[in-house]
Amino acid sequence: MKNTKNILIEKLHAFENHPYKVQDNEEMERLSESISEHGVLSPIIVRPKENTEDEYEIISGHRRVMASKKAGMTEVPALIVSLDRDAAAIVLVDSNLHREHILPSEKAFAYKMKADAMAHQGWRSDLTSGQLVPKSDDNRTTAMIGEDMGDSYKTVQRYIRLTNLISEILEYVDEGRISFTPAVELSYLNEQEQYDLLEQMEINDCTPSLSQACRFKKISYEQGLTPEVIAEIMSEEKANQKEMFKVPMERIRKYIPKGNAKQTEDFVLKACEHYYKVLQRKKERSL
């Protein structure tokens, strides 16, 4: 049974452990302006909150609710559905996974939320082992989760592994400073080892390579990682420790001839050398 009505925003509550981040950014500002002009065109989806009267939990529409508040609205149209928490969690995850921009952490916690909900409903769950491949992936919870997103069951399991990372390191993953595969390896370190690693990352202003992440995982499993061992491995020079300077290609494309990456790099370096000599000559003339 379901029905639609306007609900006071103050009666709406975020879904517990909601895996998606609702950010107050430019996109949110545009949505708020659109709602100010046209209203909320698509009702949010909510369910009655347990043990309360006229209170609701948001299943889909957290961004629309925030944008409506920013637009000065006091109520929003909502589709009320009678779902238990597990069924609501599955709907919540599925309604957001196809967004254009989704962070690795959001996908990780969304996959975990759906896997846990399906497990509670009686689906077979193979969240952590990932070692034995059954004759039919169709019987695996993680295979069913990944099917709609085009991910294998192993990829789903690897995303779920990211939920074992401390929030500070997971933020590095969201920012693209740590790639997905090294991050999965680091997820096997215990919490203290991760904090020790974070300290070294901040001291050296660098992140572990895949090779280093694999070594950390192996040492952690065999004997445990100490801050000294982490510091020694992190002090090794690698590509992502070298200082880099990047310029968007569209800013310089009209100035350089067509060519491959190496030719473009050589041209830019020669241009810098030429400009440096020009500045030096101007400096000498001014003396």
Per-residue pLDDT of the chain (287 residues; tens, 9 = 90+): 457 889 999 999 988 888 888 888 888 899 999 999 998 988 999 999 887 778 999 998 898 999 999 999 999 999 999 888 889 888 888 887 777 678 999 999 999 999 888 887 765 444 443 434 444 444 467 778 887 778 888 899 999 999 999 999 999 999 999 999 999 999 999 999 999 999 999 988 899 999 999 999 999 999 999 999 999 999 886 554 455 566 766 677 777 777 666 677 778 888 888 888 878 887 777 76
Give pLDDT, residue 139: 45
d(CA 134, CA 253): 51
Give pLDDT, residue 129: 39
Q: Which residues contact 5 (CB under 8 A, 6 or more apart)?
A: 77, 78, 80
Task: Give residue limits of the domains in the chain.
Answer: 2-83, 102-162, 165-241, 249-286
pTM, whole model, 2 decimals? 0.69
The CATH code of the domain at 2-83 is: 3.90.1530.10
Residue labelled with tokens 């992140």: 207
Give pLDDT, residue 131: 37
Helices in 97-188 by DSSP H: which ranges?
104-120, 141-147, 153-161, 167-174, 180-186
- Compute the C-alpha angle 138/144/148, nearest 5°: 125
Q: State the amino acid at position 116 in one-letter form.
A: D
